[in-house]
Amino acid sequence: MEKTSGRLEWCVVHLTEDNNWWVKEISDDLNWDVEGLSIIDPNQFLQIHESLDSFTDYGLDSEVVDDAFFTFEIADELKDGSVRLGRVRDSLLKAEDLLFALPDIQDEQKGPFADFIHHATHLRVQMLNELIEFSEPYTVDDMEEILREKEGAAFIEGRHVHFHDQITSILEFVPDGFKLEADLDEDEKASKEEEEYPELETVEEAPEEEAILVKKEKLRWDEEGEEGEEGEEGKKGKEGS
């Protein structure tokens, strides 16, 4: 279903020290407030998409997912380090190109993004009840109460919760004191690797500024990478001859 907000055609986004993209300017400034407005980058949505795939057997409605987001692609890189995004009318789940995703929060209570959050929450609770033996069935109210407490804590601390964090907190939610079998397997694997290779040192994370540059590089146009590869192949061919 195509979005019909006529004035929403572009936005300018910037990467901050938290390694997330936030909206700096938007074409439709009548219906959108850029204060604390985040946007999901292509790599983040790939992670979200992978988590959503696990909900397929529980009745995931792909149309609900598509309707919840406006899609954008990179149009230009600006001198101040910001990136200008242009609106595209592609299905987020079926698009061949990597797209930025802006949740449709124009109606925060009953809008498409609210429907998506409601849908994802119910599916996650259904999954938890199937995979974990609770003494009593876990409920949506139980889950929402915990998530509201976390959101309230962020509000008190003056932090804006990024949409990526809000969504993954639902898609990957597990009540305290419980673990899914897949999580247990990962813990056992990590523990075994530490026992087998105790001499390996932990690689230090890159400084924040370097991490930001790396993330920007990953989101450059694919054409640049393809041109570079073709150039290298041509160069090797000449050297071989």
pLDDT tens figures, 140-181? 999 999 999 999 998 899 889 999 999 999 999 999 888 886
- 71 in any annotated domain: yes
Contact indicator for 125, 137 with CB cutoff of 8 Å: no
* Confidence tier at 193 by pLDDT (50, 70, 90): low
Question: Is 219 inside any structural domain?
Answer: no
Domain that holds residue 62: 10-196
Burial of 238 (0-12, 13-18, 19+ CB in 10 A): exposed
> Which of 25-34, 64-73, 150-159, 205-214 shows the lowest per-residue confidence on average (mean pLDDT)?
205-214
9 pLDDT above the threshold of 90 = yes
**74 bridge partner residues:** 85
How high is the pLDDT of residue 68? 96
What pLDDT score does 218 carry? 62
216 inside domain:
no
Asked if residue 206 belongs to a domain, the reply is: no
Give the mean pLDDT of 3-30.
Answer: 88
Could you tell me the pTM of the whole model?
0.76
Yes or no: say if 28 and 8 are a contact pair by the CB < 8 Å rule.
Answer: yes
Paired strand residues for 12: 25, 84
In the chain, the percentage of residues whose pLDDT exceeds 70 is 72
Enumerate the H helices of 157-207 as residue ranges.
163-171, 181-196
**Cβ neighbours around 70 below 10 Å, total:** 24
**Is 93 strand, coil or helix?**
coil
Higher-pLDDT residue of 169, 209: 169
- Check: CB of residue 13 under 8 Å from CB of residue 213: no
Domain count, the chain: 1
Q: Tell me whether residue 202 is in a domain.
A: no
- Domain annotation covers residue 91: yes
Asked whether residue 4 is assigned to any structural domain, the reply reads no
Domain membership of residue 233 (yes or no) is: no
pLDDT one-digit tens code per residue, 116-140: 999 999 999 999 999 999 999 999 9
CA distance 94 to 211: 29
